[in-house]
Amino acid sequence: MQMKLLQDRILKDGQVKEGNILKVDSFLNHQIDIDLLGRIGEEFSRQFAGSGVNKILTIEASGIAIACATAVCFHCPILFAKKTKSLNIAGDVYTSKVESFTHKTVNDIIVSKSFLGPEDRILIIDDFLANGKAILGLSDLVRQAGATLIGAGVVIEKGFQGGGDRIRSMGIDLCSLAIVESMDPVRGIVFRKD
């Protein structure tokens, strides 16, 4: 289920930029509206209620605040994967590669083996879903650890980039609070119908 309050805020304060970029940095990923953030966390906790989530997994940087707001509702810790350009970090870590179509970069992402294991029931949280590479990388870490992936929650899915549909077709329970079907600097933003 999409979240009307969030859609209205995107229409009011989001800016569509060239290159298919939606800027929401006045309320979501630079300056953050903390009341909206709380409502987002509550919405994710409603949508994944009863699933026994015991840890939230996200990726630095913008996912962290949203993951924290969600973890407050689940009363569980968050774990954020760190991004690194070169894998020369010593120690016991799970790693995966995440290619960013938006930034044209490839990052290794890592989490310590101490904080992810078979006893964990993981909800992945992130701010944007475009091509889905971040969520796929995080779900790969969950698989390596032998943990259970309960699902994934994203605040804004850019539906026209296809990543969300690919993730759903893999059987991952994906909840997107706003799905942008199309956007254009002149014609504006259209959300997917529920």
Beta bridge partners of 188: 184
Q: How far is CA 178 from CA 56, 119, 147, in A?
A: 20, 31, 28
Nearest distance from C-beta of residue 12 to ligand G4P, angstroms: 16
Q: Does 134 bind ligand G4P (CB under 6 A)?
A: yes
Q: Which helix (H) or strand (E) holds 137?
A: helix 133-145
Nearer to ligand G4P, 45 or 62 (CB): 62
Nearest distance from C-beta of residue 45 to ligand G4P, angstroms: 21
Q: Does 133 bind ligand G4P (CB under 6 A)?
A: yes
- Burial (Cβ within 10 Å: 0-12, 13-18, ≥19) of residue 96: buried
Nearer to ligand G4P, 122 or 167 (CB): 167
Q: Does 103 bind ligand G4P (CB under 6 A)?
A: yes
Q: Does 132 bind ligand G4P (CB under 6 A)?
A: yes
Nearest distance from C-beta of residue 108 to ligand G4P, angstroms: 13
Nearest distance from C-beta of residue 172 to ligand G4P, angstroms: 13
Nearest distance from C-beta of residue 41 to ligand G4P, angstroms: 17
- Residue 129: left (phi > 0), alpha (psi -120 to 50), or beta? beta
Q: What is the DSSP string of 58-83?
A: EETTTHHHHHHHHHHHHT--EEEEEE
Q: Residue 149 is encoded by which pair of tokens?
A: 């992936």
Nearer to ligand G4P, 136 or 150 (CB): 136
Q: Is 16 helix (H, G, I), strand (E, B) or coil?
A: strand
Instruction: Kindly list the residues in this chain that would bind ligand G4P in the complex (CB under 6 A).
Output: 21-24, 29, 59, 61-63, 100-103, 127-134, 158, 163
